[in-house]
Amino acid sequence: MLRIVVVAAVVALLLALAREERLFERAGVVGSCQIVASPVGDTAVWRACREGWLTGSPSLVGDSCTYRLRAAGYEYWRCPAPEAP
């Protein structure tokens, strides 16, 4: 019984560490996005998203972003600029 508890604790610790360090994104298991330079004259925030082999491409529709194009293995999204405080 003690072995099961120890193994479960080790697995939970490894999963928490992997999540914290974003290991799944870096390994390409889950999709991820990064901010990229916007076109000249555009004040919006542009994100380049790559798909993961397990989850596919992230959708940023829920963040009020619009899909623009796919190039060089990335999907490019245009998101509204954050409002100034």
Q: Reduce the secondary structure of the chain to three states and give it as a string.
A: CHHHHHHHHHHHHHHHHHHHCCHHHHCCCCCEEEEECCCCCCCCEEEEEECECCCECCCCHHHCCEEEEEECCEEEEEECCCCCC
Shared domain check, 43 and 7: no
- Specify whether 21 is located in the same domain as 35: no
Q: How many domains does the chain have?
A: 2
Same domain, 43 and 17: no
Chain-centre distance for alpha carbon 29: 11
pTM for this entry: 0.69
For residue 79, the model assigns a pLDDT of 93
Q: What is the pLDDT along the chain (85 residues), one digit of tens a residue?
A: 888 888 998 888 878 766 666 777 777 778 889 999 988 988 899 999 998 888 888 889 998 999 999 998 899 999 987 776 6
Q: What is the pLDDT of residue 84?
A: 61
- Quote the pLDDT of residue 65: 93
> Looking at the structure, do residues 37 and 22 belong to the same domain, yes or no?
no
Domain match, 14 and 55 both: no
Same domain, 1 and 42: no
- The CA angle 32-35-41, to the nearest 5 degrees, is 145
20 and 42 fall within a common domain: no
| 41 and 76 assigned to the same domain | yes
Range of the domain at 52: 31-85
